[in-house]
């Protein structure tokens, strides 16, 4: 139970950066398809608004029909935005879906058929489905709270108009089951799978897949001249496994990961890229990177059980006509092998660092 509670707390506190999911969709050439799908939801909403406005069960006065006209036009604009615009930022996405939530609730309140109006709140499950995958637990909780309040108001509206109290209760329970139980549970499981897919099971650091995502994002949004990659490799790790066994080897890896993580500043990303190799990425000058790498070297060597040392290669900046994360990783890797060639337990700075970066 304690482990489950810890997982739930981690999930709840995680701000959840879904840019990795957008990156995955884009890398598989399905991001535009996803945008068309979300936009199609707006088109469906426009047709629902038009059909409801024309129905005897829809709005009974002019103000209600005006509200439905505004909702229909907004839904069409929503569809156009998703179809022909870029993928929205997290802030714009929240604004769009908050507007959708309010429109659904306000539209349902205009229906003269109060049972139909109460059932219409089920549309909030659709907007909640998007929030489940692309926003944090706190955002989903806010959406669930709005949905529950909406269905309570609509159900009271139905009962006060002579509606069946048992039917109103059933509608409330259906919405709560979907939005308070099902969607948060789905988001938690999705978060858990995502966390496992980009995490190293032994050290709990991000793995190479997670590193590549963060590095690609840095190349897209940061000053290339300050992007730094450090490759940290344990010296003679095979002899540790051969002499002491794999359980001790695993302990050495976990302790090394903990010491590097403890020595890293919060803005640096630490990962285990495979075997006895770790990587640290962040934005640094040459002097900052050299000092940080030396700190990592000293911290990793301070083992309490089996004495180990590390070789560290450092590369900074996206030099060349087509800089890529892979090129920077290769440069750092080459520098690390040079450190090993020179005897290990040392830091080697990649020679390709531009002079102006050296002088910074």
CB atoms within 10 A of CB 295: 15
Average pLDDT across the chain, whole number: 88
pLDDT at 5 exceeding the cut of 80: no
Q: Where are the domains of the chain?
A: 2-197, 208-359
Q: Which residues on adjacent β-strands are paired with residue 232? A: 278, 312
Q: What's this model's pTM, rounded to 2 decimal places?
A: 0.77
Residues near 137 by beta carbon (within 8 Å), at least 6 away in sequence:
11, 12, 14, 16, 184, 187, 188, 191
Task: Give the model confidence (pLDDT) of 197-255 as tens digits.
Answer: 888 989 989 999 888 888 887 887 788 888 999 999 999 888 888 888 888 889 999 99
Nearest by Cα to 230 from 302, 319, 308, 328: 328
Q: What are the tokens at 271? A: 């990962």
pLDDT score of 37? 95
Tell me the chain's radius of gyration from C-alpha atoms.
27
pLDDT score of 244? 84
Q: Is 82 exposed, middle or buried (0-12, 13-18, 19+ CB in 10 A)?
A: buried
Q: Whole-angstrom Cα distance, residue 233 to residue 312?
A: 6
pLDDT score of 82? 97
Cα→Cα distances 24→18, 68, 94, 289, Å: 10, 37, 21, 30
Find the mean pLDDT for residues 293-302. 90
Q: What are the tokens at 157? A: 């509206």
Of all residues in the chain, the percent with pLDDT exceeding 70 is 94
pLDDT score of 99? 96
pLDDT score of 205? 92
pLDDT score of 320? 52
Task: Give the confidence band of 3 by pLDDT, cuts at 50, 70, 90.
Answer: low
Task: Give the model confidence (pLDDT) of 246-275 as tens digits.
Answer: 888 899 999 999 999 999 998 999 999 989
191-223 exposure pattern, b = at least 16 Cβ within 10 A, e = fewer: beebbeebbbeebebbbbebbbbbbbebeeeee
pLDDT at 129 exceeding the cut of 60: yes
Are the beta carbons of 112 and 56 closer than 8 angstroms? yes
Task: Give the model confidence (pLDDT) of 13-45 as tens digits.
Answer: 877 777 778 878 888 899 999 999 999 999 999
Residues near 211 by beta carbon (within 8 Å), at least 6 away in sequence:
269, 271, 273, 279, 281
Find the mean pLDDT for residues 108-122. 88
Q: Is 54 exposed, middle or buried (0-12, 13-18, 19+ CB in 10 A)?
A: exposed
pLDDT at 342 exceeding the cut of 90: yes
Residues near 25 by beta carbon (within 8 Å), at least 6 away in sequence:
31, 34
Domain 208-359: which CATH number of 3.40.190.10, 3.30.499.10, 3.30.70.270, 3.40.1120.10: 3.30.70.270
pLDDT at 347 exceeding the cut of 90: yes
CA 170 to chain CA mean position, Å: 35
pLDDT at 95 exceeding the cut of 90: yes
pLDDT at 357 exceeding the cut of 60: no
Cα→Cα distances 79→76, 215, 249, Å: 5, 33, 55
């Amino acid at each position: 139970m304690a482990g489950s509670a810890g997982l739930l707390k981690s999930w709840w506190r995680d701000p959840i950066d879904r840019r990795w999911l957008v990156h995955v969709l884009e890398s598989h050439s399905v991001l535009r398809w996803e945008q068309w799908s979300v936009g199609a939801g707006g088109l469906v909403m426009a047709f629902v608004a038009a059909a409801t406005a024309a129905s005897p069960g829809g709005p009974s006065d002019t103000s209600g029909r005006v509200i439905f006209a505004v909702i229909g036009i907004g839904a069409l604009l929503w569809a156009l935005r998703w179809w022909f615009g870029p993928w929205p930022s997290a802030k714009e996405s929240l604004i769009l879906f908050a507007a959708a939530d309010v429109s659904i609730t306000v539209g349902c309140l205009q229906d003269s058929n109060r049972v139909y109006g109460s059932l219409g709140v089920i549309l909030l499950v659709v907007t909640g489905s998007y929030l489940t995958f692309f926003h944090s637990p706190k955002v989903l909780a806010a959406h669930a709270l709005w949905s529950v309040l909406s269905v309570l108001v609509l159900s009271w509206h139905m009962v006060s108009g002579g509606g069946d109290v048992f039917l109103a209760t059933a509608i409330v329970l259906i919405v709560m089951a979907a939005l308070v139980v099902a969607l948060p549970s789905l988001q938690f499981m999705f978060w858990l799978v995502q966390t496992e897919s980009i995490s190293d099971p032994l050290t709990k650091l991000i793995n190479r897949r997670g590193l590549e995502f963060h590095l690609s994002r840095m190349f897209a949004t940061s000053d290339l001249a300050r992007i730094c990659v450090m490759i940290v490799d344990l010296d003679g790790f095979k002899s540790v496994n051969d002499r002491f066994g794999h359980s001790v080897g695993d302990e050495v890896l976990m302790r090394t990961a903990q010491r590097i993580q403890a020595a890293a500043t919060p803005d640096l990303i630490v990962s285990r890229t495979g075997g006895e190799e770790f990587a640290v990425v962040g934005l640094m000058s040459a002097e900052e990177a050299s000092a940080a790498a030396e700190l990592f070297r000293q911290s990793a060597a301070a083992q309490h059980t089996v004495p180990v040392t590390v070789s560290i290669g450092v590369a900074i900046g996206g030099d060349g006509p087509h800089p890529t994360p892979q090129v920077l990783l290769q440069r750092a890797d080459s520098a690390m092998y040079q450190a090993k060639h020179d005897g290990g337990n040392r830091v080697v700075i990649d020679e390709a660092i531009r002079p102006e970066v050296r002088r910074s």
